[in-house]
Structure 1
């Protein structure tokens, strides 16, 4: 059984205030949630800082975001943070006892550590859960001897660094896939309006109160269709639904300008959407379905639709059917479409595999942290 130690007995709040000069440039820190470390904000003049008080950030300090600690916004500063400043929102602690700050940081990222943080956070609304220095310092944490702290911290640090490198590589691969798609589409010389390849085609069905409907929606930025919960006909405000068919092109009038476009796959055939989601048959003599699938994901098309919305306010910019069909897109002949689609499908499979691995790495990270603080590391 580990001894519980009051945090204020092993770490001490360090406040080194600065006098903000409006004409001097400052570099601020921020802390990412979920244990993703410190990041550096763009330099700015003192005149551009908020009205909060600012303090020096020194290396080898446990830095806690007092408003986001409950979400894992805690980190250890390093030499890279030397010369930076942080607002009063960041509590900076130096060690005064036998404690490895890395161990404490990892502890607060674990399941048991998050329970401790939430227990000393005040506020009733999730985004108002603030940690005060007094409450934080009075918290008690299980703390082994310094040698054991270092052993656990060293193991976790090695593993976390490897995970971080892998995630960085996977994210870079996804970015390259997007760049590759952009380069291929922009290399096409022939542009035609979407009306040349899309024909309006809806399958409206009357909603029956005693029936159930498997509904779908479309994610923005070309991320495709997603399943919504099954809904009873008596629970919906719509009198009719549009039934999706495989290989149709579908978009959201409300969020087309955000890239809510997709081609219906087998998985979503037979699901229902509202009248706000127009559907179109793709002319097989003019366009390849696989090519159109990638085109729906292309940020160049999304950018073209940003100025096509009508209405007031960003969330009321409907893209009507006429504007969508008038939008010009790169469309070479069918053999070239198929060649481009084949390349993009291979790249997309690699990127999707990388995304799945990133999720697995996040799970591995949580598992390692929980194992470390339940005596299994």
Structure 2
């Protein structure tokens, strides 16, 4: 249907539609739209302009971001966007992405820049982010976002005072989310510093892992009709990989290593990637191939402290340096070579003290992460409700907004 025909149909419908009733064109009626709201097509409040290619050799380093469908990736000394604030919409590549800039930018040919018509730029940014633009991406030929499809999307537009309230409320939610993310990042940075400061010096000295660990040679022969819970080890000290339960007849192994709780286990083949961990205290017995040697932990080191040590990049580097083979994925770390790595731990009292500190900081990071995830969900749900036009914004929201602004000012 052409735009002119659509508008003629709209006028005919409005002639007989009772006052206070609204129509979602092509999608059926919406009877619960509040007074002061109107339904339009996105193209009535937004124009998407093509960006322009800017080869690297033509860029002049400056303060203007160069942005494509995935956001900013370089800088330039001038902009090609005709607005003081910029909304960049992915056209190719990350098609349908929406990125906000508080300044003019140079938008490349993989993206559009959005111009608001009759609404404020911050409100348009929320509107574009709420309509799931990636779902309107063409899937035939070269995937991309077609402007005409975007222009046809029905949206609800409130009065200007209501738009400003919505923008301010979402901005408050964004501020809270930003604060939670900053708290998480601070805790993670502190955790990284704690680990580096404490564990790096431990991987030196005259003692070695052989002073504190003992290789376990506990294996069982494979029985074809017996089920075995098979495990592996994730890289970068991330713990165990549960490979599920398999029948002996479904494996190529003749025998398996028995892996039990509070043992150090590593992958001989992936040692250069830091595939090492200490099994949990509550783990039930499991099985692994001969590529996963297991070690009993002596009384001089705490399993929790040693598990934390396996998350140390310095240990991963040592393991990589002792791996031998033809290079890359053919390298292996033999148990004797692993046991020869230097390790001079502090006494148990100091190990427990360090672990208490690490647990506290980890708990702070986990709590901040959980808060951030909850705020992301809250923001998404809040935006959906606020832009539906079906619910009145309670005055209590304004009160909360004032409190948030006062808290930020303090």
Report the TM range for the smaller structure's normalisation: 0.7 to 0.9
Gaps of 5+ in 2: 1-29, 394-410
Aligned residue in 2 for 1:48: none
Aligned residue in 2 for 1:218: 233
Contact 1:191 1:331 survives alignment (8 Å)? no
Where do residues 210-289 of structure 1 align in structure 2 (5 Å cutoff)? 210-233=225-248, 235-284=250-299, 286-289=300-303
Aligned residue in 1 for 2:94: 68
Deviates more, 1:151-160 or 1:204-213: 204-213
Deviates more, 1:175-184 or 1:320-329: 320-329
Pair 1:183-2:197 in alignment: yes
Pair 1:98-2:118 in alignment: yes
Deviations 1:288-321 (A, max 9, x none): 2222111111222123334344456755544443
Q: 1:87 to 1:17 in 2, by over 3 A?
A: closer
Contact 1:31 1:75 survives alignment (8 Å)? no
Gaps of 5+ in 1: 46-53
Aligned residue in 2 for 1:139: 153
Note the aligned Cα RMSD (angstroms). 3.6
Q: 1:212 to 1:68 in 2, by over 3 A?
A: farther
> Could you tell me which of 46, 54, 62 is aligned with 1:11?
46
Aligned residue in 1 for 2:106: 85
Distance 2:294 2:140 in 1: 44
Distance 1:109 1:64 in 2: 10
Q: 1:15 to 1:119 in 2, by over 3 A?
A: closer
Aligned residue in 2 for 1:49: none
User: TM-score normalised to the size of structure 2?
Assistant: 0.71
User: TM-score normalised to the size of structure 1?
Assistant: 0.77
Aligned residue in 2 for 1:294: 308
Deviations 1:316-339 (A, max 9, x none): 544443443332234234444344
Contact 2:51 2:109 survives alignment (8 Å)? no
Distance 1:9 1:224 in 2: 53
Aligned residue in 2 for 1:50: none
Q: 1:353 to 1:204 in 2, by over 3 A?
A: farther
Aligned residue in 1 for 2:60: 24
Deviation at 1:121, TM superposition (A): 0.7
Deviations 1:272-300 (A, max 9, x none): 3333322111122x322222111111222
Distance 1:170 1:210 in 2: 48
Distance 1:316 1:368 in 2: 52
Deviations 1:38-96 (A, max 9, x none): 5x546599xxxxxxxx95585423211222245xx3122213xx4x433322211111x
Aligned residue in 2 for 1:196: 211
Aligned residue in 2 for 1:51: none
Aligned residue in 1 for 2:139: 123
Distance 1:12 1:199 in 2: 69
SS in 2 for 1:141: strand
Distance 2:174 2:381 in 1: 12
Distance 1:334 1:259 in 2: 25
User: Matched residue pairs, number?
Assistant: 351
Deviation at 1:157, TM superposition (A): 1.6
Aligned residue in 2 for 1:344: 358
SS in 2 for 1:160: helix
Q: 1:187 to 1:92 in 2, by over 3 A?
A: same
Distance 1:365 1:237 in 2: 51
Distance 1:226 1:252 in 2: 11
